[in-house]
Chains A and B, each alone.
Chain A
């Protein structure tokens, strides 16, 4: 739940609770106050009635008033106490019960005790109370709504900085060359947060760049010592003064130095793709590259008697760096040939949407999660570097191509959708 929603809900529930109790309490206190006033009024009326009766010396004709009924009845044995009460009286004219307040008292007139009741209509005061309560309710409701709206609006404005920060951090990519800057806020907490975050990202980015630069430099610097090692070993080989065992050791060392240099070259390539150091792009034809690579791998293909099935749509072009296009296709075809079985099949399909390379192979379904990892190797070919698909994936992500691996009809299938490219570049 969003903080804003949560605070709003809290505020709403508390204010509704208070308001409900408030209205009930308000109603009753109003009621009590009104009753008290009426009682006082009736007390005055009692006095006036008494004086009236005494002056008139007759209890036969009580004064008449619309909102007031005075009943005088002779008292029997039982002597009721003075009291106040609410009672309903049927109104003949309006044909309904109306609420009245009644005051009863005993008065001695001409040595005879009478029980006198004064009834006073509560209709008007009741109406007033209800009206006041309704108006109060409406006002409080409006107040709550107004508060909620204002709170929501102002919170949203205040929190917008926070949401902006979250969104920016989510999108943040260490590899991107964009400046990471956060919005200024007039809330000091958010300002602090942004300042700290900004300082942190700058520090992380610097560390990352330093590390990257270091590894890249290291990779480059390794090339020269490697050149020295391999050249010295080659010279040593030419000296011709060694026995078979020494030659074998030398050969192994030489082989290892070459493998190291291949690793190194590939890692440099990966780093360069990550750094987007292949900016220039042009129209490349996958068909030409594929033909060229099949020719290059001719020995391997013929050795394994692989049947090549080409479904290449003519005139398909992809807009990308020519070197990367070559690396992409080389690695895919090389994998498809290398991991193929004798008398296997290799299907190459190219159209204006995707490039698909399918091959028969010994292993079953491969683990898609590991497939594109660096140094992932299937057990069948320990000699391979395990970097081919890592390169393929890096190139694909650079151009926004999607790559999809599947295993169908006992064939490993790599499909690269290159369509996105034409729209985005």
Chain B
């Protein structure tokens, strides 16, 4: 996927690029509103990651601009502002997702994957990894064409793992993905463990190898290698 990253904080955009490069995406980075405007004018991107607070303008205006040009790129906003109004404003302007800083790179990646699926398989929206098949629209997962019995949280967990396969995902990242801000991270770790245990059991039962590796003290990895 071709991705344009508009973020004036160079170290942060470097991190994003590094993480996304590993996923095989082609990333371009600009640091100002002006540069971004030019890029959007000349090139076509599958997705744009936009920071709202740019030194010479607002990221929201960039979104409006690209919508006016009926550019169909997916848009993810990353912003330090986390109020509901900012969120609603961003999403109403036409962004697909709104992430507040600091965010987990795995979370950003998961959002990119969902945009990727929307763009690439318009219609049949499926995610296939080896013997696992996910149909995100219906919240159903199959292994070797057998339907998995998963709770909502377990399904979300699997989707998150598949979006970030072969990556170490921290427990904090998982917790925030599953419960958002509503549960304090320390509380949720036990439940992550329970959900992962159930998910693993269900996958093994349907004849799937044990992909989920526990990384001591840190988190988990959906290891396909």
Contacts and interface: CB of A to CB of B under 8 A. Distances in A.
Contacts of A257: 102
Nearest to B190: A303
Interface stretch (A191-199, A225-233, A393-401): A225-233
Contact of B101 (A223, A258, A262, A385): A223
Contacts of A228: 9, 11-12, 15, 102
A296 B22 contact: no
Contacts of B184: 262, 334, 338, 383-385
B211 interface: no
A29 to B, nearest CB: 88
A220 B106 CA distance: 23
A258 B218 CA distance: 13
Nearest to B88: A323
Contact of A334 (B19, B168, B182, B195): B182
B15 A232 contact: yes
A76 interface: no
Contacts, number: 123
A238 interface: yes
B172 A255 contact: yes
B137 interface: no
A224 B101 contact: yes
Nearest to A259: B185
B191 interface: yes
Interface string B1-34: 0000000010110011011001000000000000
A244 interface: yes
Given A230-B104, A231-B102, A238-B22, A224 B15 contact: no
Residue picked from A258, A272, A330, most chain B C-beta under 10 Å: A258
B80 interface: yes
Interface string B93-136: 00000001111111000000000000000000000000000000
Interface string A108-151: 00000000000000000000000000000000000000000000
B190 A235 contact: no
Interface residues of A, number: 46
A259 to B, nearest CB: 8
A300 B172 contact: no
A249 B106 CA distance: 20
A223 B80 contact: yes
B183 interface: yes
A299 B153 contact: yes
Contact of B182 (A232, A244, A297, A322): A297
A115 B7 CA distance: 134
A234 B187 CA distance: 21
Contacts of A227: 9, 12, 78, 80, 101-103
B181 interface: yes
A244 B183 contact: no
A385 B173 CA distance: 18
Interface string B145-187: 0000000010000000000000110101100100101111111
A300 B182 CA distance: 12
Given A226-B102, A237-B168, A238-B19, A247 B217 contact: yes
A248 B182 contact: no
A251 interface: yes
B182 A261 contact: no
**Cβ-closest 6 pairs across A and B:** A227-B102, A383-B186, A231-B15, A227-B101, A223-B80, A299-B191
10 contacts: A228-B12, A229-B102, A230-B104, A234-B19, A235-B105, A238-B168, A251-B170, A258-B102, A300-B187, A385-B184
